[in-house]
Structure 1
Amino acid sequence: MRTDFYQVPLPVVLTDAKHGEMSHFELVTVQVEDSDGATGLGYTYAVNSGAEAFAVLVDRYLAPAILGAEVDRTEHIWQQMWWAVHYAGRGGHATSAISAVDIALWDLRARRAKQPLWRFLGGYDPKVPVYAGGIDLEFSIEELLAQADRFREEGFRAIKMKVGRRFWREDVERVARMREHVGDDFPLMVDANMGWTADHAIKVARALSEFDLVWVEEPTIPDDVAGHARVLRDGGVAVATGENLHTLYEFARVMGEEAVSFPQPDICNVGGVSVFRKVATLAEAHNLPVSSHGAHDVTVHLMAAAPNRTFMETHGFGLDRFLTESLKIVDGAVIAPERPGHGLTFDFEALRPYRIGTSKP
């Protein structure tokens, strides 16, 4: 196993309601190799800070727990990793570190089988609908509408915009202008990034309900499951959440308590392929459509294998400029690649200037 840690500048500074200004993101890549020389690649990331801890967890604790394991026993390996760092934190840094290794192992397994990951996972439909995830809270209305035009020129047929301004009526005005700009039948979502209390979220959601939104995302903090349920029940708009839920059990709770309409696991922090697919199945059992957060270049395989998938997010932290081949958006959808494994090949030379550290147990 080899682990690399990078601090990657963003092309433009991005903003949302809780993370503030984001000038860069942190990236951890994990490469695994089996005794036959086959390889797999995984990664995880964090906003602004914290990801170095993922690399330390992989190098110091996860690698010793699993080196020498049988790669086909991914469930057994996942449990070995989970219990190796369980006491240090159930979720959070622990599951982000586990995610990177788990993605690499599934990539390796599918490569050995000479199948694309989405087929290896059972296969449903390689054509996955996508939306553009704008990170644009501080954009002027003119910039917001110009961005929407660029998204449509790039092939998107659904857009998500940020809400959570200091004065909530500004949010309503911005959504109204966006709805007028894109038209009545264009799928439009909003994302509050945990910026509201449940009471405030209900008030704003009711004001936004006339604009026929697909969902309001993360209206309040992920810990307030009862608050999410109230917003969904009383706000008049569907609720999406999940990027800050880091275990299968957290997803089971929000679904069981009817606090979510669109579960959104992030493959890079929920526990990797192993857990994402379980969240998707759990959502199917609750008759809920599954969406996603981040890491669209890998997530496309999980969405292509899920019969209950809906829009997949393409995120502003995308790694397209460091990939030898990236997903192409055509008429609002992407096609899961047919290359073996997840098909990602990083341009590590392009990433090299941003590498902070490396380790090879």
Structure 2
Amino acid sequence: MTGIKTIEAGHFRIPLSVILSDSTHGQITAFELITVRIRDGDGAEGVGYTYTVGRNGGAVADILRREIPELIARRDAADTEAIWHHIWWGLHYGGRGGPVVLALSAIDIALWDLKARRAGLPLWRLLGGFDPRVPCYAGGIGLDLSVEALLRQTDDNLAKGFRAIKMKVGRPDLASDVARVAAMRKHLGEGFPLMADANMKWTVEEAVRAARALQPYDLTWLEEPIIPDDVAGHARILAAGGVPIAAGENLRSLWEFKTYIAGGAVSYPEPDVTNCGGVTSFMKIARLAEAFNLPVTSHGAHDITVHLLAACPNRSYLEAHGFGLDRYIEHPLVLEEGKAIAPTRAGHGVNFDWTGLAKLAV
């Protein structure tokens, strides 16, 4: 393989057709897409991306344009592990998280896409291959919806083929959360996979109380009940609340996941490939979870993550996120009987509508 020749970053603001809401971010009217296109000396291309929920995308794009190119210019694009470490340590003092790791994630995704394309393989097969049919849930984002509107959103997701649903909790009063979960459970029926996401809203004691109140409704998991920095708090909630805990979308490295997993603080580790360090880190996190006999789930970027979970024997559910990027992708995620189907196209198979995106450039 020839060396890396060009790196092109893009920054776009994608308006949402439906306003989203959760307990900490409030109302979300748009999200930022930050892309990177890497080409080698033969003209082969790999594409990666990351995103934000409306802020700091400029910082990520700036790192991709100003800092990273000189670190990896002319390096062999096949050396994903070496390049990952070179960027990590090259930007370490001002990094270890935040925009730096989002930029690193996008670069790493692009390099793995390029590697799989050159091999003529879909990414999930290059990563080992396990099962291209991945259980998938709809990540509903609508804390402010009325119960009636929430159930209509759920019916719409069921009509699309989803056979697992996640809803938001974390309203000002616990009784309202419990009533909404109870309504969802009654609507979906016993045994239907239902998750609830608090988006870091509570204190530890509030979360324990909430978990106990929600216990009768058979949640698959309660997600991010408290701030991600409190590992011991997550362990207490898991031990005292009686409900499985999913967490990890706000963790930024393999080592942060190690602390959670070894500390008994999580039931479903939940990395996001666009902010945990890319494909390289995601797969290490998944293998670490496997060593502890834990199922791994995911956050965001379902069009890429379907490949990663299709290569993991300990995968649980893929999250299908509600950010509406499908409008700008040639081949949106395919769902069959509640399973997301990993594509057979070479690479990760995400082909952006660059002309359409250009109109949204920041």
- The answer to whether the 8 A contact 1:206-1:237 is kept is yes
- The answer to whether the 8 A contact 2:16-2:324 is kept is no
Per-residue CA shift, 1:178-236, capped at 9, x if unaligned? 00000001000000000001100000100000000000000000001111001100001
- Is residue 6 of structure 1 aligned with residue 6 of structure 2? no
Aligned to 1:21: 27
- Is residue 197 of structure 1 aligned with residue 206 of structure 2? no
Per-residue CA shift, 1:15-50, capped at 9, x if unaligned? 000000100001110000011111000000001101
Per-residue CA shift, 1:237-292, capped at 9, x if unaligned? 00000000011110000001000000000000000000000000000001000000
- Is residue 279 of structure 1 aligned with residue 280 of structure 2? no
Secondary structure of residue in 1 paired with 2:37: strand
One-letter code aligned to 1:41: V
- Is residue 216 of structure 1 aligned with residue 203 of structure 2? no
Aligned to 1:125: 131
Q: Distance in 2 between the 1:135 and 1:230 partners?
A: 27
One-letter code aligned to 1:201: A
Q: Distance in 2 between the 1:335 and 1:132 partners?
A: 15
One-letter code aligned to 1:139: L
Aligned to 1:315: 321
Q: Distance in 1 between the 2:91 and 2:19 partners?
A: 34
**Shift, 1:350, TM fit:** 1.3
**Shift, 1:317, TM fit:** 1.4
Q: Distance in 1 between the 2:97 and 2:67 partners?
A: 15
Secondary structure of residue in 2 paired with 1:354: coil
Spell out structure 1 runs of 4+ moving beyond 2 A: none
Aligned to 2:110: 104
- Is residue 52 of structure 1 aligned with residue 48 of structure 2? no
- The answer to whether the 8 A contact 1:133-1:161 is kept is yes
**Shift, 1:89, TM fit:** 2.0
Identity %: 54
Aligned to 1:339: 345
Q: What is the root-mean-square deviation of aligned Cα atoms in Å?
A: 0.6
Per-residue CA shift, 1:41-64, capped at 9, x if unaligned? 000000110111111111111111
Q: State which of 163, 181, 187 in structure 2 corresponds to 1:181.
A: 187
Q: Which has the larger displacement, 223-232 or 85-94? A: 85-94
Q: Distance in 2 between the 1:38 and 1:88 partners?
A: 31
Per-residue CA shift, 1:287-339, capped at 9, x if unaligned? 00000000000000000000100011000114111011111211101110000
Residue-pair matches, total: 356
Structure 1: where are the runs of 5+ without partners? 357-361
Secondary structure of residue in 2 paired with 1:27: strand
- Compute the TM-score of the two structures, normalised by the length of structure 1: 0.98
Q: Distance in 1 between the 2:340 and 2:164 partners?
A: 13
- The answer to whether the 8 A contact 1:61-1:84 is kept is no
Q: Distance in 2 between the 1:317 and 1:281 partners?
A: 28
Aligned to 1:359: none
One-letter code aligned to 1:66: I
Aligned to 2:252: 246
One-letter code aligned to 1:142: E
Aligned to 2:173: 167
Q: Distance in 2 between the 1:351 and 1:72 partners?
A: 28
Q: State which of 158, 173, 176 in structure 2 corresponds to 1:152.
A: 158
- Is residue 329 of structure 1 aligned with residue 335 of structure 2? yes
Structure 2: where are the runs of 5+ without partners? 1-6
Q: Distance in 2 between the 1:239 and 1:332 partners?
A: 22
